[in-house]
Structure 1
């Protein structure tokens, strides 16, 4: 018996075939980009959640092309946006956005959520955030959605040839271990024992990500936790970086690199690339003027000492020129600082990117 299609019912089916065909033809000059992590890389997922960890009101987004808040914890673009810019692709959309569908899915997706950490109990004060294993579950769901568009084999290829950015760790200190005096974790572990525990949990996260298919993953370290305006406001009467938090960063970051090296050795390939964002930030903090900043201590938007207390809101002090400030708000870099960080991710020496920078990755992969 012949099966008859009306032209109307055939359209969705035909569009799927065309999309799969278009994908196979265009992938030579584009790669999907996936982002996992916390507020440093969240581009709006938390806007769709009932949580206090949001950046959805002015003056956030004041320098974004629309001059409106987007959910990014920035005056403008954040690190993933600027990486996409350099890759020549459009910015990945938040996974929770209802507009992430059809061809937009092939660009990639941002799964990050402000407030999360490596540990599940990090950021509990924010209540409803997308914890890291839920981000990975959403990635599995994403793969199923894309498979329905371009088929399983094309989806496998898209994921294997993608670039991933993973940014976690800072909240496990500032929003967990050091959140309150005598926190549960600080009573449970001395700092020298807490760091290896967090690293061992991070290893499980990255191994799970590897199982899901990506083969190029940039993993950023923590920044200099004791030098952000929020910590200066609370713990530094003289503007010096807070020693205890700096110690946490100095223990965590080298152990992270060692762990990534170990995973790469076990795999037999340089899948995981360490980005020394701690050193990138310390360059600004040690000598802001060299980079065209007037201050690395005072946030552009905030209140209290160093503009470091509370949140950035419409009632906060707001600097007139964001390009002169390393920090946009009490915790997050300005767009201009983010741009300098991405320059190091792209072309930095082994001090900043280990074992290679993003430009080298892209050159290697284009020849493969």
Structure 2
């Protein structure tokens, strides 16, 4: 026997109103992405600060879709942008960007700030930057804002399921320990002791991120700091990488991987993933031609030896084809180099990614 249902006009109207409200409520549709760290991953937070660590004037952004500077320390896209692209989501916006509100918040947020390090005294010469403790405070503030949008339970799920990228450590050497001869930190610590101190402080930062609900965190090591054009210009006689900074990287990176493994054991889960960005960079620094670069020593934008002196400005030398330069400015990779790095983050084996690569993370359900 067939059963038929009839709807009164009032019930139909109520149903339509409820459907309309449901479609207006913010929906969490894909994995959110949060970014913490320094200029390698800053998407423009420093544009909103009174600081000398800025990338908001040409020719920065020359190859960005808008061809305008965005505050990214790149000719185009940076590592977080390319990871977002691979995840099929729009790029996360800088947390200080006033446009980051409403449903945009559900995509995630970028808290990174050029010049910062693991330590609070790193980058003091840049004046006003968002130190890592403040970045974490902003992350707590972010969660409060999102709770107002989708409720506490949904916010916790969003954070638990999110991907997180954190990039710190390089500035603690370049803009602290080795910033000037006989720096305060180099007088306080031998290099091995300084590295141990950095690792112990970094562990506290990462544990705090875990306590705030993050469950899949990509942690990059330092690149080959002694090989960047700025260091070649200051410390190299014949284009060789600066020995002291390479030694610092060789001490820091293995201890970082070890600390992450120990933290994962303590937590009973593979929360923290080590990205060996040193090896990723060295591939194209040691054999640039194999990756389609004409040089890995000279920056595309800059002045002086190796274009490694000072800042990249409208008055700097500028290469016509950024795709054939491994370095965009004295410190930062070109967009094309960033793409090579992200490809290894995505699909690299244990030499590059430990205990898993980003493709494996994306294939997993990270619900807690």
Secondary structure of the structure 2 residue equivalent to 1:365 = coil
The 2-side partners of 1:131 and 1:15 are apart by 44
| 1:82 correspondence with 2:72 | no
Cα deviation, 1:213-264, whole Å, max 9, x if unaligned, reads 0100000000001000000000001000011100000000000000000000
What residue is the counterpart of 2:246 in the other structure? 246
Question: For the Cα contact (< 8 Å) 1:19–1:149, is it kept in 2?
Answer: no
Which residue of the partner structure matches residue 207 of structure 1? 207
Name the CA distance, whole Å, in 2 between partners of 1:317 and 1:296: 16
The answer to whether the 8 Å contact 2:216/2:366 transfers is: no
Q: Tell me: CA distance 1:296–1:16, structure 2 relative to 1, closer, same or farther (3 Å).
A: farther
Using the alignment, how far apart are the partners of 1:267 and 1:20 within structure 2? Answer: 38
Structure 2 contact 160–366 (Cα < 8 Å) conserved = no
Following superposition, the deviation at residue 145 of structure 1 comes to 0.2
Deviation string, structure 1 residues 9-65 (Cα, Å, up to 9, x no partner): xxxxx9996478542xx53xx100000000000010000000000000000000000
Q: Give the structure 1 partner of residue 226 of structure 2.
A: 226
Please tell me whether the aligned partners of residues 275 and 352 of structure 2 are also in contact (alpha carbons under 8 angstroms). Answer: yes
Superposed CA offset, 1:174-229 (max 9, x none): 00000000000000000011000000000000000100001000000000010000
| Cα displacement (A) at 1:365 | 2.0
* 1:314-333 paired onto structure 2 within 5 Å: 314-333=314-333
Structure-2 residue corresponding to 1:153: 153
> Would you say how many aligned residue pairs link Structure 1 and Structure 2?
351
Query: 8 Å contact 1:20–1:150 — kept in the other structure?
Result: no
CA distance in 1: counterparts of 2:19 and 2:36, whole angstroms: 30
CA shift in 2, pair 1:22/1:142, >3 Å: closer
Mapped contact 2:157–2:367 kept (Cα < 8 A): no
Q: Distance in 2 between matches of 1:18 and 1:127?
A: 46
Partners in 1 of 2:166 and 2:94 — Cα distance? 15
Report 1:1-368 matches (<5 A).
Answer: 18=22, 21-23=25-27, 26-27=28-29, 30-365=30-365
For the 8 Å contact 1:229–1:297, the answer to whether it is kept is yes
1:364 CA drift (Å):
1.8
Larger Rg: 2
Cα distance in 2 for partners of 1:222, 1:118 equals 12
Question: Helix, strand or coil for the counterpart of 2:270?
Answer: coil
Q: How far apart, in 1, do the equivalents of 2:24 and 2:165 lie? A: 26
Q: Residue 119 of structure 1 contacts residue 198 of structure 1 at CA under 8 Å; is this kept in 2?
A: yes
Q: Is the 8 A contact 2:348 2:357 kept in 1?
A: yes
The separation in 2 between residues aligned to 1:341 and 1:41, in whole angstroms, is: 13
Q: Following the alignment from structure 2 to structure 1, what is the Cα–Cα distance between the partners of residues 300 and 66?
A: 20
**For 1:193, what is the secondary structure of its paired residue?**
helix
Contact 1:17–1:150, Cα closer than 8 Å, also in 2: no
CA contact (8 A) 2:56 2:70 kept: yes
Specify the SS of the correspondent of 2:204: helix
Unpaired runs of 5+ residues, structure 1, are 1-13
What is the alpha-carbon distance in structure 2 between the residues aligned to residue 367 and residue 145 of structure 1? 22
In structure 1, what is the Cα distance between the partners aligned to 2:358 and 2:23?
A: 29
**TM-score using structure 1 length:** 0.93
Contact 1:16 1:149 in 2 (8 A): no
The whole-number CA distance in structure 1 between the counterparts of 2:110 and 2:24 is 22
Kindly indicate whether the alpha-carbon contact (under 8 Å) linking 1:40 and 1:73 is maintained by their aligned counterparts in 2.
yes
**C-alpha contact (below 8 Å) 2:160/2:367 kept by paired residues:** no
Per-residue CA deviations over 1:64-106 (Å, capped at 9, x if unaligned) read 0000000000000000000000000000000000000000000
RMSD between superposed Cα atoms in Å: 1.6
Q: 1:15 to 1:129 in 2, by over 3 A?
A: farther
State the secondary structure of the residue aligned to 1:35.
Answer: strand
